[in-house]
Amino acid sequence: MHTILPTRLGELTIVRDGEAIVGLYFPHHWFPPDPSTFGPRTEEGFGEVVTQLQEYLAGDRTEFDLPLDPRGSDLRRRVWRLVAEVPFGQTTTYGDLARRLGHDLDPQQVGAAVGRNPLCILVPCHRVVGSGGKLTGYAGGLRRKRALLDLEQLTLLPRTDPDLQFQPDQPRTSAAAPPRTTVDPVVAQHS
């Protein structure tokens, strides 16, 4: 079954199989499955995922508590598990993920797996950046990647200054701090 959630980032298609969320796609998403595999469209059974996504996009949620079942190869699932561990408001790089996975993987292989993430936002692949913090490909487009990173940075700011709060329908007017990069202590020792 699937539903469509209108958001300021575009319509999100949410797909579930039983109780588990198996897909969350932006319009014009890279590598989407055939829409005929989404099953019938319904509003029933999506209340919790819709609520949590709306709270996240409003800056009121930093973690998701949903049954997720991303489907893919063993390598892709391993990459997605690592991506899911990147904390809210922080980033990591494709190279860092490749080093953590080992097995002679290179950043391009990790990037290919990240690009096939079927659960955008929920498995936060927007938090994976190129070396030096450069924004690189995102299945939902770089504009959305930047918007999600900005949202997370602005959510972390104290809520006492309304001028610094995230304005969903307006361009950024204040410079958010660059995303913090997660550093794996094991990788840092060997760098």
In the chain, the amino acid numbered 96 is D
If residue 176 lies in a helix (H) or strand (E), which one and from where to where?
none
Closest CA relative to residue 9, chosen from 155, 175, 127, 121? 121
Q: Which of 82, 122, 125, 151 is catalytic?
A: 125
Listed in sequence order, the DSSP H helices in the chain are 47-57, 74-84, 94-101, 107-115, 142-156, 185-190
Structural contact between residues 123 and 84, judged by C-beta atoms closer than 8 angstroms: yes
Closest CA relative to residue 139, chosen from 33, 36, 19? 33
Structural contact between residues 21 and 122, judged by C-beta atoms closer than 8 angstroms: yes
125 as an active site residue: the answer is yes
Give catalytic residues, as residue numbers: 125
